[in-house]
A and B are shown apart, each in its own frame.
Chain A
């Protein structure tokens, strides 16, 4: 038969190929394009997943969407690495009492469709986003502003009684005022968040279309969105802000796995990564050399306590000493180094690095000290039933460290500890929402704005959005209220620093470790830096010719 010969050959080839892999070593990463000249119009690509929602300023909260939005929109202010503010679209943001804020805009700013950016662009955008009928996920960001509860009643199914926030007033084309319900010293820092970006007239005519094809005022303008494949943005040449793009544009590429993205980085098909898969962590430094990135950003992993659970509530409220003891029984240094491959840094407090008011070694309870741990648990009356569990979502790669933490606790204190895995994040969240967490649960927080209040007030205040463990303490609430009403930002930060030190007496959660960016970039780009939120800063990237 004629076909037989070629078929035989193919079989042979496959068998040879299979055999070859047995001794296949890694090829050294050669190649250099050391021309090094920068192409100001060069376009680079980043690994980014498909955004979870349409690209709306009021609804983009997860990282895949927000990195795109950061390129398309400029807010009034931005913050530098030390947490201090930089004016972007605002000429100035001033206040005398932390309650009434006056914003002056820089003149001559335009949206990408050519219409001017005015005070009204901001006020209208915020009013629209805050309105409960528009169901924007970031609506709670306007809660500080006077009249929020009229536009966005909290209760399920409630109808708004007003369409505009009372606290927002347009004074003239380039000036508006924001009146808050009560003083918030760090309000200007919040303004850096994407929900406070302005929106052009065209948005309100068809918000749905705008979510697919956003028109912003940022350093890049939107080009195309090929769903689940890629998003393209290109430099906006009319941009007058301080953070003008040093490249011609960005392509956000979708990958099915982080492993695939890393392979593409090595073969030059993608330029910047945001994170690596666990499989590649041990080798990426030797693969990439000085293009390997390893730096902390402002996020923290904690184990939170479900205070509503019977274990901590009955017969009496748990003594914080018990939780202090559990905290001291965790060998953070070893776990971050081994189980987590050095991708985390042991936490020494509740406030992450890179935010205003971060204090190194804020508390003692994050030190590993088995003897002291035992002592504290005993002094606090012991762990009820001598057994705890840590709930986590099994789809997020948390199983390994949860087990390590449990082992550490059991070995140090002989308190029985098991992981309570939920199949995925959805199920995990539902158990938290329905207050079904039995003992402890995994929790985490990435900064919203670079002030320590974000890591305290938004997590531990009674009824705060991030407070899912039912922690409530009147004393602490009063202290937070006092820190919030401080005259100046500095005072408020100081008071929050004191609160952080004081948190050991309540132990609303056990701080574990700070997150780090473990990523890398290709030889085609330089100037790749990562911000406090862990995302690469798009505008600073330079593309080589």
Chain B
């Protein structure tokens, strides 16, 4: 077990360098000069542009830029400076991540509770009315695009009923985050419910279930311990990767609800050719993915003791 964890942690190092280098190369190969872009239609003298490029180290060869960048991160935890704003990238990330984390946590809790809840109801009553209703409902959720769902929720709850404010304010209250979290978690909720349902419906017919019932165990124990533990493995796998997706993939939701989080920052950094910000963002996201997938793998053993790590 210890060796397994150590090996997985070591594997993260090449992944870390690989992803950062890839992103670095991608941003570099996009057409468009971020410094010239600062001046728009009116232009600036070549000497001014050259002075800014020099200050930011953009006049260095690419390998040197990458090297400086990586040593900055590793030795000083310095992610460089944004081209616009002159702000340290760590500060920019420090502003965006907590907001997205807040949103992602709520969305995750939402999909976890309602997704698994709906899945259990459907799974236990496979083929009956409740099951069909839930299948239709989840199909509906999956097929509605995120921006449509976002506007629907805004229209009903903010404009027609007036229960919520249409947008998240600058204070980012938890109560304001509920609507975007529902939208963000909605799609995954449908998948979680369907995964849980199928897995449970299948395991209901398994031999160990018949044994457990035949032993005369109370129904709660049969379902709660015997059935649930086995049925959760695919669901947990999905939930694990979804954490990463929730952190990074909320561009549309964040725009609709005026959330100033990671999604918008990624989009903005790409259009502005902010290589340093983008690599910093992706680095953090990669770490989130790697850590959660490791945690999920370790969770398997808890759910199913037959799984061994080598």
Residues of A within 8 A of B (CB): 1, 3-4, 7-8, 10-11, 14-15, 17-18, 20-21, 24, 26-27, 50-54, 61-62, 132-137, 139-140, 152-158, 208, 211, 226-230, 253-257, 260, 263-264, 267, 269, 395, 422, 424-427, 429-431, 433, 443-445, 465-466, 468
Q: Which residues of B contact A4 (CB under 8 A)?
A: 117, 120-121
Q: What 1/0 flags go to B36-75 for Cβ under 8 Å of A? A: 1111111111111111100100000000000000000000
Q: Which residues of B contact A (CB under 8 A)?
A: 30-34, 36-52, 55, 84-87, 91-92, 95-96, 114, 117-118, 120-121, 124, 130, 133-134, 137, 140, 152-160, 162, 165-167, 169-170, 254-260, 264, 271-273
By a CB distance below 8 angstroms, the chain A residues around B264 are 256
| B36 and A430 contact, CB distance less than 8 A | yes
Complex Cα distance, B255 from A24, in Å, reads: 23
How far, in whole Å, are A510 and B273 apart by their CA atoms in the complex? 31
Given contacts A135-B55, A156-B46, A264-B258, 20 further A-B contacts (CB under 8 A): A1-B124, A11-B137, A14-B137, A18-B140, A21-B155, A61-B39, A137-B38, A154-B46, A154-B47, A228-B95, A229-B170, A255-B167, A267-B166, A395-B271, A424-B271, A426-B30, A427-B31, A429-B32, A429-B33, A430-B31
Q: Chain B: which residue is nearest A3 at the CB level?
A: B117
* B117, A24: Cβ atoms closer than 8 Å: no
Report the Cα distance A140→B39, complex, angstroms.
12
Q: Which of A8, A50, A227, A228 contacts B130 (CB 8 A)?
A: A8
Task: Tell me the smallest distance from the CB of B213 to a CB of chain A, in Å.
Answer: 17
> Which residue of B36, B47, B256, B273 is within 8 Å of A153 (Cβ)?
B47
CB B257 to nearest CB in A, in angstroms, measures: 7
Residues of A contacting B42 in the complex (Cβ-Cβ under 8 angstroms) = 61, 465-466
Given the known interface contacts A7-B114, A267-B166, the answer about A257 and B258 at a Cβ–Cβ threshold of 8 Å is yes
Give B273's nearest chain A residue, CB to CB.
A426
- Is the pair B166, A260 in contact by a Cβ cutoff of 8 Å? yes
A290 to B112, CA, bound (A): 48
Give the Cβ gap from B99 to chain A, nearest Cβ, in Å: 10
20 examples of A-B residue contacts, CB within 8 angstroms: A4-B117, A11-B133, A14-B137, A17-B153, A20-B160, A21-B152, A21-B160, A27-B159, A139-B44, A156-B47, A227-B91, A256-B264, A257-B258, A263-B158, A424-B271, A426-B30, A426-B36, A427-B31, A433-B33, A444-B41
The reply to whether A211 and B86 form a contact with Cβ atoms under 8 Å apart is yes
Please indicate the chain B residues that have their CB under 8 angstroms from the CB of A132 in the complex.
Answer: 45, 47-48, 51
Across the A-B interface, give the 7 residue pairs with the lowest CB-CB distance, nearest first.
A426-B32, A135-B51, A260-B258, A263-B166, A229-B170, A427-B32, A426-B37
B31 touches A426 (CB 8 A): yes
Q: What is the bound-complex CA distance between A445 and B41, given in angstroms?
A: 7
Is B43 within 8 A of A468, CB to CB? yes
The winner among A135, A424, A466 for most chain B CB atoms within 10 A is: A135
- If A132-B51, A136-B48, A227-B85 touch, whether A255 touches B40 (CB-CB below 8 Å) is no
Contact B43 A226, beta carbon cutoff 8 Å:
no
With a cutoff of 8 Å between Cβ atoms, the chain B residues found around residue A157 in the complex are 47, 50
Q: Contacts A430-B33, A433-B33 known; A154 to B41 CB distance under 8 Å?
A: no
B-side contacts of A7, CB under 8 Å: 114, 117-118, 121
Contact of A465 among B43, B49, B162, B271 (CB under 8 A): B43
